[in-house]
Amino acid sequence: MKAEYKEECRYANEIHEDTKDVLEKWMKRYAWDIPELDENIAAKLILTEMRKALSELEVKYCGGQCDTEPPSCKKE
């Protein structure tokens, strides 16, 4: 297995958690500025911006769309 795939297996959960943490960070920031925050609207706006950023990164690193699926990770 290529080293990059091993790293993906090793860090997949952390990447997921970090991504969720970014959303939560921005939800808190919106809540500081908007006391009557509608969390559903705020989440949709933040996720839209996150998708735009991911799309830009996919263009930069994948030529448009990253669709690499690593081999199945074995539990260690």
Q: Total domain count for the chain? A: 1
Q: Where are the beta strands (DSSP E) in the chain?
A: none
| Residue 29: inside a domain | yes
Sequence-distant contacts of 5-9: CB under 8 A, at least 24 apart = 5/70, 5/71, 8/70, 8/73, 9/70, 9/73, 9/74
* pLDDT band with cut points at 50, 70 and 90 for residue 19: very high
| Residue 72: inside a domain | no
N- to C-terminal Cα separation, the chain:
15
Q: Domain limits at 11?
A: 3-62
pTM above 0.75, yes or no: yes
Give the mean pLDDT of the chain: 91
| Residue 76: inside a domain | no
| Residue 71: inside a domain | no
User: What is the mean predicted confidence (pLDDT) over 14-36?
Assistant: 96
pLDDT at 2: 83
Q: Judge whether 18 and 42 are in contact, CB under 8 Å.
A: no
Q: Judge whether 45 and 51 are in contact, CB under 8 Å.
A: no
pLDDT at 75: 66
